[in-house]
Structure 1
């Protein structure tokens, strides 16, 4: 490709994009330097032109590791320019894997020297830096097995808790406690994905109590909502509704639209799990109403949710319909089916795809389409070693009953290997 003689560090705009975490802009600039159009470059890197276009236009945010590493290796681009510590290789032991993940996160959350100089107290930088590391781990969660992330997330949480305990300044202690709460809820999420429900509940409880000690009403409401979501999806709808009431009472005024939409969607799932279609329908209507207000509000007011939009609303409607297959109140459209399964988070997309598969069973009576979707989702679950996806796949199989056929046989063969 003619990249052997290129010194990529000579290009200042490329380094600036890397420093900002805009790795799509880095890839686009690399392609331009090599004088290639998108189709040529995509072919050389073994990816589709559409995938390359999406990558180049992603902006500052979460990126999947594999395509970045593939492109960097192909064009001999230093991996740190796309946020990777080094090229990932097969057969890493746990120590190497921890080093790779920690290096990748460090590359995505650089602390500019001038920002540190503007802080009169160097210790004040610590909470923000630690929160950025947690956020980077959350982005890696999209494409990384939870058991791999747990190798670095647990020590990260212990570090924050230790630093919080040593902090004597009251204001700084509150900020550190907030960082600890965020790290604890992410640790809980990883445990949930690994189907370790006991640990997940314990870490969500830690996240709530730590947020309360930080005296942060928004964060406390978020952590209560997160535990409510866990309760709703694991068969405890009454407890979920009680926690949602507690979450809403944290606000001294009306909650931000993003928070209101998200909490209403969890309420809808809880009512669906409790087999209350009328209440579920009302909660879905409230979620839709609040979703329509989000674009006019300040998104920073609820920073822990990446987005809540029509796609997530469709996914929530699908999940409710799957739990209430015999009610006409929850109407799922073809638009919901196609919209819900789009998005960049591999694990979430697989879970939603399994829900869509259940809808094909109950609404369309189309087992072949259902098993095709479910098989695709289960492949993702096995690749990412997700116990949560495997559990939902088993629920789908139970819902399918005695369905047989080539499409069912392939799914069953995969499911038998899902001892994660």
Structure 2
């Protein structure tokens, strides 16, 4: 690069930057604002550039202009400021200037000829880069348990952008796989936050980015995890058919020799899809599969990106949720208590979602007071955390209830009205 700068070899400079950033020639053309054919001619030494064009390209590629001494007319040899508008060929020949002037130009560039920062930008990508990115995502996930998603979203998106830019610089380095995996986790968390905020379109978009980065990483389990998470999201959004299709693809990619935790989780995702379609037989088949997987002796340490191994309590939780969708209230209530009776309670927002599900089971069983007490408590949590996901569940619970209008029903209606008008106290 120092030689290219000293001779103004624009072909070498531009091509080096393209390779460093992992761009195609078309991406380079879009960045500098010229056609791909024009860029191709530059790279192949067939296109001459004016000084203005060199200055423009340097700006668009973030090349510090002082390296080329093109920042001001005063920094250029005298002939460059003349009306003849000399040009620099792609291989560094100054057209329209005499040989003496060409030598002067080379001296000017050579005086500041140092390697471009962009050419060595990947040098700061090392074995600590991916763990650092992942630790940031992990910290944000921990904050999610006690913070509104809207308070975290801006930071999460900034971190996702940072991860994406870092991934771009990690190309052609031995750390590409690990950085891609870290970027996938950042995108998956951004998707989760937007789902909680009720922004389904953005959530889908970020889940797709998470799947794409997981495949860049070549990490099969991470790919399955993100694809399965997207499947669960679609099922949760009342598109069971699409969710089951995504879960089937994740299952195909998982294979038969994978960790029991992964197989049990995907079986539960499929169970939720079948329950959404009202297919009781397939739902229970998948739940039995999940139960058999968690009972295997090798279901101990969970594989990354799973944090906790699947156990009987987790399968019971999915059994409870499936029973709610299948309108089996007594089975649902029994499974809820089995899942959460002796375990650590979930985070506030996830706990509120489960309250609404349990409220549905109580309502179906005729225990209206308890049902609406749970829904009311869940709504208060949803308002406190500004969780559109929780609030939306409570509203759906109310729409689906067609029983007697008891006092507890009127109280929830008043809460919903106060929430919309901004009068519901925290």
**Corresponding residue of 1:258:** 261
Counterparts of residues 34-53 of structure 1 (less than 5 Å): none
After TM superposition, give the deviation of residue 306 of structure 1 in Å: 3.8
Counterparts of residues 173-322 of structure 1 (less than 5 Å): 173-293=176-296, 296-322=298-324
Aligned length: 297
After TM superposition, give the deviation of residue 139 of structure 1 in Å: 1.5
Provide the rounded CA distance (Å) in 2 between the counterparts of 1:270 and 1:253: 21
Query: Which has the higher mean CA deviation after the structures are superposed, 168-177 or 218-227?
Result: 168-177
Provide the rounded CA distance (Å) in 2 between the counterparts of 1:320 and 1:418: 29
**Corresponding residue of 2:363:** 361
Provide the rounded CA distance (Å) in 2 between the counterparts of 1:158 and 1:122: 16
Kept in 2, the 8 Å contact 1:272–1:324? The answer is yes
Query: Which has the higher mean CA deviation after the structures are superposed, 179-188 or 161-170?
Result: 161-170
The CA deviation string for residues 171-200 of structure 1, in whole angstroms up to 9 with x for no partner, is 311211110000001000000000100000
Structure 1 residues 272 and 335, CA gap change in structure 2 (3 angstroms): closer
After TM superposition, give the deviation of residue 406 of structure 1 in Å: 2.7
Provide the rounded CA distance (Å) in 2 between the counterparts of 1:345 and 1:268: 23
Structure 1 residues 181 and 250, CA gap change in structure 2 (3 angstroms): same
Structure 1 residues 344 and 130, CA gap change in structure 2 (3 angstroms): same
After TM superposition, give the deviation of residue 411 of structure 1 in Å: 1.7
Structure 1 residues 199 and 121, CA gap change in structure 2 (3 angstroms): closer
SS state at 2:253 partner: coil
Provide the rounded CA distance (Å) in 2 between the counterparts of 1:286 and 1:336: 19
Kept in 2, the 8 Å contact 1:232–1:270? The answer is yes
**Corresponding residue of 2:377:** 376
Structure 1 residues 310 and 347, CA gap change in structure 2 (3 angstroms): farther
Provide the rounded CA distance (Å) in 1 between the counterparts of 2:309 and 2:407: 38
Provide the rounded CA distance (Å) in 1 between the counterparts of 2:189 and 2:216: 18
**Corresponding residue of 2:339:** 339
After TM superposition, give the deviation of residue 141 of structure 1 in Å: 0.9
Provide the rounded CA distance (Å) in 2 between the counterparts of 1:311 and 1:418: 34
**Corresponding residue of 2:139:** 136
Instruction: Provide TM-score, normalisation by structure 2.
Output: 0.65
Superposition RMSD in Å: 2.3
Structure 1 residues 338 and 304, CA gap change in structure 2 (3 angstroms): closer
Structure 1 residues 291 and 158, CA gap change in structure 2 (3 angstroms): same
Provide the rounded CA distance (Å) in 1 between the counterparts of 2:390 and 2:340: 16
Provide the rounded CA distance (Å) in 1 between the counterparts of 2:384 and 2:309: 25
The CA deviation string for residues 10-62 of structure 1, in whole angstroms up to 9 with x for no partner, is xxxxxxxxxxxxxxxxxxxxxxxxxxxxxxxxxxxxxxxxxxxxxxxxxxxxx
**Corresponding residue of 1:385:** 386
Provide the rounded CA distance (Å) in 2 between the counterparts of 1:136 and 1:121: 23
Structure 1 residues 275 and 344, CA gap change in structure 2 (3 angstroms): closer
**Corresponding residue of 2:353:** 351
SS state at 1:209 partner: helix
Provide the rounded CA distance (Å) in 2 between the counterparts of 1:334 and 1:275: 20
Kept in 1, the 8 Å contact 2:264–2:291? The answer is yes
Provide the rounded CA distance (Å) in 1 between the counterparts of 2:193 and 2:265: 20
**Corresponding residue of 1:6:** none
Structure 1 residues 351 and 307, CA gap change in structure 2 (3 angstroms): farther
Structure 1 residues 311 and 350, CA gap change in structure 2 (3 angstroms): farther
**Corresponding residue of 2:151:** 148
Provide the rounded CA distance (Å) in 2 between the counterparts of 1:360 and 1:216: 42
Provide the rounded CA distance (Å) in 2 between the counterparts of 1:168 and 1:220: 19
SS state at 1:299 partner: coil
The CA deviation string for residues 64-121 of structure 1, in whole angstroms up to 9 with x for no partner, is xxxxxxxxxxxxxxxxxxxxxxxxxxxxxxxxxxxxxxxxxxxxxxxxxxxxxxxx98
SS state at 2:287 partner: helix
Kept in 2, the 8 Å contact 1:227–1:243? The answer is yes
Kept in 1, the 8 Å contact 2:299–2:309? The answer is no
Provide the rounded CA distance (Å) in 1 between the counterparts of 2:417 and 2:136: 36
Instruction: Provide TM-score, normalisation by structure 1.
Output: 0.66
Kept in 2, the 8 Å contact 1:382–1:418? The answer is yes
Provide the rounded CA distance (Å) in 1 between the counterparts of 2:201 and 2:368: 34
Structure 1 residues 338 and 390, CA gap change in structure 2 (3 angstroms): farther
After TM superposition, give the deviation of residue 418 of structure 1 in Å: 4.2
| Structure 2 residue ranges without an equivalent (≥5) | 1-122
Query: Which has the higher mean CA deviation after the structures are superposed, 306-315 or 218-227?
Result: 306-315
SS state at 1:123 partner: coil
**Corresponding residue of 1:48:** none
User: Which structure would you say has the larger Rg?
Assistant: 2
Structure 1 residues 416 and 287, CA gap change in structure 2 (3 angstroms): farther
Provide the rounded CA distance (Å) in 1 between the counterparts of 2:201 and 2:357: 24
